[in-house]
Chains A and B, each alone.
Chain A
Amino acid sequence: MWQKLYEELRDQNFMIIAVAMDSRGIDAVRGPIRRAKTTYTSLIDRNHLVAELYNMVNVPQAVWIDERGRIVRPTEVSGAAVAMNLSKVRKTRKIYCDAIRDWVKNGDHSAYVFDEEQSRARLPEFTEDIALAHANFHIGQFLWAAGEQAEASAFLKRAIELNPDSWNFYRQMKNLEHIFGSAGPDFMRRARRWRKEGKEYYPLPDMESMREVMD
């Protein structure tokens, strides 16, 4: 999805860094990355470090970072809205990509970047439980890779308990247990419970034009 946008904007001091939150490592993503023939930067993040640094809970999520290394759009769902209506998906994808184009062209004057106060207001809170969750996930992931699966499971489950909003932790653990486990019946049940609680799996990026399409 991003390759076309990258090719269009690469000569305007723009880079896409796609980070794969894959605890199964390079082997899990080498195939998909090669087949996609992407020319932007594609990195592998076994420990989910980027999710910790940017307080992310799901994929895909994105952050916009300017030339001075400043966050100008904090962590949000990245790209198109998820909907059963394909026309809405296409429209929202175009809105998001056009927003990135606008930013590359207009920089700080883009309507799609936030000033410091607005950015700070949009940062999800990094709680003690979230910090402890990431610690548990990291050691759990390490032990799983080392073959200590029983102990690893205990740490991974603790990470999920401490940060139940993190679909990354939950789905990664399911995927370690079984390569297709992250989209199985357990996942469906959890997603249904989520919806019953009135929570959004993919909250919309904060863009007026996107809200208008989805309403």
Chain B
Amino acid sequence: MIHLLTADKQLTVPAASGRPKDQLWIPRHVLTELTGWHLESEGLCKGDVCTPLAAGAVEQDGDLVHASALWESLGRPVLHDSAATTWLLGEAAADRQRGLESLEAPDFTLPDIEGKLHSLSDFRGKKVFLSTWASW
């Protein structure tokens, strides 16, 4: 089993067998579950929006996608532990910067102390003072 981590999601899935340790190959439906993207002939699509991909940017083998190469081709960091059982698929600086420059407050979903999830977008319609702290 391998752990897949993105900024806002975490999945544990069976590992694809027979692949080099530095390559993450996952089924298309797992890529979709992780990112919300569908791999179509037009490119990577989320809802109505498709990002075209350069020819050969996505290696596929049957149902499996070379996800780590795809991620890196989008300028996003990919990290994994030495056993290649935990993979971090990160966000590109350019996407984060552009997001903040739009001045649309990025949404997030986090638990309270009872474990109940809350999103920033739950409070649309109110002024929100978002402040951080730490027990340390």
> Which residues of A does B touch, CB under 8 Å?
2, 13-22, 24, 26, 28-30, 32-34, 41-45, 47, 49-56, 59-71, 74, 78-79, 100, 103-104, 107, 116, 119-120, 123, 125-128, 130-132, 134-136, 138-139, 142-143, 146, 148, 151, 155, 168, 171-172, 174-175, 179, 182-183
Contact = CB atoms under 8 A, between A and B. Distances in A.
Contact of A44 (B3, B111, B124, B128): B111
29 contacts: A14-B128, A15-B123, A17-B123, A20-B133, A29-B135, A32-B135, A34-B113, A42-B113, A49-B108, A50-B108, A50-B130, A51-B132, A53-B7, A53-B108, A54-B130, A61-B132, A65-B130, A66-B127, A67-B125, A69-B107, A71-B103, A79-B131, A116-B103, A120-B101, A128-B93, A135-B88, A135-B91, A139-B5, A175-B134
A21 B93 contact: no
A45 B136 contact: no
A50 B107 CA distance: 9
Interface stretch (B15-23, B29-37, B57-65, B78-86): B78-86
Interface of B: 3, 5, 7-8, 77, 79-82, 86, 88, 90-93, 96-97, 99-101, 103-108, 110-113, 115, 118, 120-121, 123-136
A67 B124 contact: yes
Interface centre among B80, B126, B136 (most CB of A within 10 A): B136
A2 B49 CA distance: 41
B96 A52 contact: yes
Contacts of B127: 13-15, 64-67, 103-104, 107
Given A49-B8, A142-B5, A17 B129 contact: yes
A79 B106 CA distance: 22
Contacts of B82: 151
Smallest CB-CB A-B distances: 4 pairs: A135-B90, A175-B136, A131-B93, A182-B136
A116 B100 CA distance: 11
Nearest to B110: A43
Given A32-B135, A45-B132, 8 more contacts: A15-B126, A22-B134, A41-B112, A61-B131, A65-B120, A67-B127, A131-B77, A138-B5
Contacts of A127: 93
Given A42-B113, A54-B100, A142 B3 contact: yes
